[in-house]
Amino acid sequence: MKPEECILFSGAAKGAEAAFGAAAEKWGVEEVNFTFEGHADARTRGIRVLTQVELKDGDVSLAYVGKLMNRSFPNTESFRRILQCIWHQINSGQQIFIIGHILDNNTVKGGTGWGAEFAKLCNKQPLVFDQDVDKWFRWTGKSWEGESAPAIERAAIAGGGTRVLKDNGLAAINDLFTRSFGG
């Protein structure tokens, strides 16, 4: 895979999304960052402000997401918009990379977890770098299995994750792009 053949779908938020975008820009990967009016974006390259109709395409019941992930989420317009943008990221990507933390119930912590769960529902086998364990994991359909060194293998990738990006999470993103395009 060549970087000019790829496109990153992300969300331009601070943390993991901004780091995925910076890596994409460094390697010459096209970038689309889904956002909504009023969102505080950390990146401007490839910004795609979703219309009200497009946001509704990604609408999901907070009760459903809460039940699926065994937790509750704030019922605010801003949080709903974030989940809708994540839906567009995952829906657009053929290969899904997420930075976060895998919980004991096999979900990923925070709103980021919706991206991982939606990818699972779409049979896209998300890859999650767990910052607390310092390791990549791939969803097998039943559980998370350790993954030694994933690479970008599809033209359309989605990159997202936590806003609290640790040094090892940033290194995981940069190493992913170097491993995929550097040789």
- Does domain 3-181 sit in CATH 3.20.20.140? no
pLDDT at residue 183, rounded to an integer:
66
Q: What is the pLDDT of residues 18-62, one digit of tens each?
A: 999 999 999 999 999 999 999 999 999 999 999 999 999 999 888
Rounded CA separation 101/58 (Å): 24
Please answer whether residues 170 and 21 qualify as being in contact, where contact means their C-beta atoms are separated by less than 8 angstroms.
no
| Cβ partners under 8 Å of residue 40, min gap 6 | 13, 14
pTM of the entire predicted model: 0.95
